[in-house]
């Protein structure tokens, strides 16, 4: 009773909600004003020697129950079910008011705090009949104390006020329930979105590490193995050649170690440190040449500055494509061609190897890609990450051409 609609904690007001704080104060003030005016009217107009003491005791009990109820039986939080203690308190206060009304009609308008408390704590299907009973008692009390001709306002005003108050409070409660449902959905959606973003971040980092490992460490280890195997075969027959293979393997180890350190820190490839993309591709062609494979580099067009991530992606694609040439194509010649056009940059890696039969339409991770290993899927992912496209043209016995094109201007 006297609790503002929506107040649900055990304190007179929630410190974090100033609007509820002031509404609670207004409700408390209204209760005490109504109680004080009812007591004053009883003492000045309705007091009798036979029942004055009992009525005063009931007024005191009524006031005490109200005050204690704020701490011992707080109203439920918005949308929550009322506790048994609060319902017991509401029933006790209502019973005291009914007895007080029978002895002192002056207490009629103290029903207002009961009306608000009932509407706030009880479900609408129960609160509305309770309000109807309270209103009927108020009307009966007004008629009882009327003198002379009955004033129609005594019969019409209480139901009208109760109807308006009931309609407003029930509407506010339903609106608050809808808002709480929307807020719960929003919180749940944000929680699910955060979990999805975390999973996507984990998957993206795994993909980054897998492609970096494939394009650097795995290729370096593969080249080292071939060089060391070659050194072992000629170790006795041609020690100088064997030592050359060992030196080349050691150089590859140094480069692989530098690459590993850089991709752990998500840096650009080591070949791009202090060099342009064309210079890095030319150096890559020189390194890959030898042991039965000659790699040439050609630059077409006028180079212009590129974002670091685009340069890194193109260099990694070139590394992956040449690794496939060396491991699968059985080619003797390969060519890297970097072409600058007015609206895009393209990189072609062509070889004269055995080629292969495409295993499906171009797209991410085709069946043929999976058959050939991680190389082609990784190259497709890198091209997609920088807004480009990767195509593979091949004919059995006639070689393969891997092409990637990246727009130089953002696409709408």
Confirm if 87 and 74 have CB atoms less than 8 A apart: no
Cβ-count burial 120-146 (b if 16+ within 10 Å, e if not)? bbbeeeebbebbeebbebbbebbeeee
Q: Identify whether 234 is part of a domain.
A: no
d(CA 328, CA 326): 6
d(CA 245, CA 86): 88
Q: How confident is the model at residue 282 (pLDDT cuts 50, 70, 90)?
A: very high
The domain spanning residue 301 has which CATH number? 3.30.565.10
Task: State how many domains the chain has.
Answer: 2
How many CB atoms are located within 10 Å of the residue 250 CB? 12
Q: Identify whether 186 is part of a domain.
A: no
Read off the pLDDT of residues 20-41 as tens digits, 9 standing for 90 and up.
667 667 777 878 888 888 888 8
State the average pLDDT over residues 268-287. Answer: 84
Domain limit, last residue, from 100, 116, 145: 145
Q: Identify whether 219 is part of a domain.
A: no
Pick left, alpha or beta for residue 221 (phi over 0 → left; psi -120 to 50 → alpha; otherwise beta).
alpha
pLDDT of residue 49: 64
Whole-model pTM: value is 0.42
Element (H, E) at 247: helix 239-264
Is the pLDDT reported for residue 12 higher than 60? Answer: no
What are the structure tokens assigned to 7, written together?
């107040």
State the average pLDDT over residues 374-397. Answer: 86
Is the pLDDT reported for residue 264 higher than 70? Answer: no
State the average pLDDT over residues 223-246. Answer: 87
Give the Cα-Cα-Cα angle 355, 360, 362 (nearest 5 degrees).
90
Domain limit, last residue, from 110, 145, 180: 145
The candidate with the shortest Cα–Cα distance to 112, out of 38, 21, 59, is 38
d(CA 117, CA 95): 14
Domain limit, last residue, from 98, 118, 145: 145
The candidate with the shortest Cα–Cα distance to 373, out of 206, 204, 203, 215, is 215
**Strand, coil or helix: what is 337?**
strand
In which domain, by residue range, is 391 found? 276-412
Is the pLDDT reported for residue 19 higher than 70? Answer: no
Mean pLDDT, all residues of the chain: 78
Order of strands across the sheet that contains 333-340:
294-300, 333-340, 344-351, 400-407, 389-394
Q: Identify whether 225 is part of a domain.
A: no
The candidate with the shortest Cα–Cα distance to 319, out of 205, 404, 387, is 404
Handedness of CA 349, 355, 360, 364 (dihedral sign): negative
Is the pLDDT reported for residue 9 higher than 70? Answer: no
The per-type count for the chain, helices as H runs and strands as E runs, is 12, 5
Torsion angle (degrees, nearest 10) of CA 274, 276, 277, 282: -90
CA 46 vs CA 43, 52, 54, 98: distances in Å: 6, 9, 13, 17
Q: Identify whether 185 is part of a domain.
A: no
How many CB atoms are located within 10 Å of the residue 367 CB? 9
State the average pLDDT over residues 320-342. Answer: 88
Q: Identify whether 239 is part of a domain.
A: no
How far the first Cα of the chain sits from its last, in Å, is: 62
Q: Identify whether 193 is part of a domain.
A: no
Which tops the pLDDT comparison, 163 or 284? 284
d(CA 145, CA 237): 129
State the average pLDDT over residues 363-388. Answer: 66
State the average pLDDT over residues 74-90. Answer: 75
Exposed / middle / buried, residue 324 (Cβ in 10 Å: 0-12, 13-18, 19+): buried
Q: Identify whether 165 is part of a domain.
A: no
Confirm if 136 and 186 have CB atoms less than 8 A apart: no
Confirm if 314 and 293 have CB atoms less than 8 A apart: no
């Amino acid at each position: 009773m006297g609790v503002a609609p929506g107040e649900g904690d055990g304190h007179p007001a929630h410190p974090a909600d100033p609007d509820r704080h002031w509404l609670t104060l207004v409700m408390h003030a209204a209760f005490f004003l109504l109680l004080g005016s009812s007591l004053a009217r009883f003492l000045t107009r309705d007091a009798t020697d036979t029942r004055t003491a009992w009525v005063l005791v009931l007024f005191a009990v009524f006031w005490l129950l109200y005050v204690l109820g704020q701490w011992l039986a707080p109203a439920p939080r918005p949308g929550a079910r009322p506790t048994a203690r609060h319902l017991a308190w509401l029933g006790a206060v209502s019973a005291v008011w009914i007895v007080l009304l029978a002895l002192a009609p002056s207490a009629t308008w103290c029903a207002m705090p009961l009306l608000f408390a009932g509407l706030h704590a009880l479900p609408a299907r129960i609160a509305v009949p309770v309000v109807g009973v309270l209103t009927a008692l108020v009307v009966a009390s007004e008629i009882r104390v009327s003198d002379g001709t009955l004033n129609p306002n005594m019969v019409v005003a209480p139901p009208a006020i109760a109807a308006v108050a009931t309609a407003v409070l029930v509407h506010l409660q339903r609106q608050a329930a809808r808002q709480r449902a929307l807020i719960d959905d929003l919180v749940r959606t944000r929680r699910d979105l955060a979990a999805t973003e975390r999973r996507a971040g984990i998957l993206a980092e795994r993909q980054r590490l897998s492609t970096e490992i494939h394009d650097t460490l795995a290729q370096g280890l593969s080249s080292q193995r071939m060089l060391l195997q070659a050194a072992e075969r000629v170790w006795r027959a041609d020690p100088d050649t064997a030592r050359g293979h060992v030196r080349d393997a050691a150089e590859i180890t140094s480069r692989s170690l530098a690459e590993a350190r850089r991709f752990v820190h998500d840096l650009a490839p080591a070949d791009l440190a202090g060099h342009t993309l064309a210079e890095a591709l030319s150096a890559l062609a020189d390194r890959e040449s030898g042991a039965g494979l000659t790699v040439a580099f050609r630059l077409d067009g006028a180079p212009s500055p590129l974002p670091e991530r685009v340069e890194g992606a193109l260099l990694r694609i070139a590394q992956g494509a040449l690794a496939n040439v060396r491991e699968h194509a059985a080619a003797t010649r390969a060519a890297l061609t970097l072409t600058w056009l007015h609206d895009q940059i393209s990189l072609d890696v062509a070889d004269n190897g055995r080629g292969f039969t495409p295993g499906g339409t171009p797209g991410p991770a085709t069946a043929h890609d999976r058959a050939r290993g991680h190389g082609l899927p990784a190259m497709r992912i890198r091209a997609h990450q920088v807004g480009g496209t990767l195509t593979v043209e091949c004919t059995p016995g006639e070689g393969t051409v891997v092409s990637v094109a990246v727009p130089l201007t953002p696409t709408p």
